[in-house]
């Protein structure tokens, strides 16, 4: 075997060993990053705070709660409809940054809650006559919630948030 062939074989061996070492290092770094996000105390604190904020958001946009916070003196049903939808969207937009700290499934469930509540308000408002008052719309929504307790995602979303928060504690 010539010196040239020996050098080529040694270079190939070094190249293969380097590749194996790089693959092992990248796997190790990837594993540390994955573990670091779940066990770092500061990250856990931020994630728990996000779950708390999403719990508050879910409570605040629950239809029965948003009705009680929205003033209805002298509003027409269309004005009340707009007021309720604006309040839901405002609460949601205020907390939109929390999605980076929670699982995609939890964020999607919160988003679905928001969308469902807007849909319910719009559908019930569309059944009322043009001269209906805001109180009529509120009564319609409360009656809907009483007669269809499983129609609201509110409690399901709260249970999901609670479950996920307990997994990281």
- The pair phi, psi for residue 142, each rounded to 5°, is -65, -45
Domain shared by 46 and 76, yes or no: yes
Domain shared by 57 and 89, yes or no: yes
Domain shared by 13 and 45, yes or no: no
Return the pLDDT at 61: 95
Domain shared by 113 and 33, yes or no: no
CA–CA distance, 29 with 116 (Å, rounded to integer): 42
Residue 162 confidence (pLDDT) above 80: yes
**Is the entire prediction scored with pTM above 0.85?**
no
CB-neighbour burial class of residue 46 (10 A; exposed 0-12, middle 13-18, buried 19+): middle
Domain shared by 102 and 114, yes or no: yes
* Percent of the chain whose pLDDT exceeds 70: 92
Specify which residues 133 forms β-bridges with.
Answer: 76
Return the pLDDT at 33: 54
What mean pLDDT, rounded, does the chain reach? 87
Expressed as residue numbers, the domain containing 18 is 1-39
Mean predicted confidence (pLDDT) in 70-86: 90
Placement of tokens 């559908």 in the chain = 123
What are the structure tokens assigned to 73, written together?
A: 């003196």
Residue 108 confidence (pLDDT) above 50: yes
Q: For the chain, what is the domain count? A: 2
Mean predicted confidence (pLDDT) in 134-149: 92
pLDDT in tens, 38-74: 567 888 999 999 999 999 999 999 999 999 988 777 8
């Amino acid at each position: 075997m010539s010196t040239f062939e020996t050098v080529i074989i040694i270079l190939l061996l070094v190249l293969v060993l380097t590749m194996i070492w790089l693959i092992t290092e990248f796997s190790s770094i990837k594993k540390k990053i994955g573990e670091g996000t779940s066990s770092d105390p500061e990250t856990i604190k931020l994630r728990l705070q996000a779950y708390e904020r999403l719990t508050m958001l879910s409570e605040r946009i629950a239809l029965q709660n948003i009705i009680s916070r929205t003033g209805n003196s002298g509003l027409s049903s269309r004005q009340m409809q707009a007021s309720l939808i604006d309040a839901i969207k405002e609460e949601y937009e205020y907390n939109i940054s929390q999605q980076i700290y929670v699982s995609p499934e939890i964020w999607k469930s919160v988003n679905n809650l928001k969308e469902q509540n807007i849909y319910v308000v719009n559908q019930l408002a569309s059944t009322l006559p043009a001269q209906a008052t805001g109180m009529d719309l509120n009564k319609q929504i409360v009656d809907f919630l009483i007669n269809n307790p499983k129609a609201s995602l509110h409690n399901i979303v709260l249970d999901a948030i609670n479950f996920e928060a307990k997994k990281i504690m």
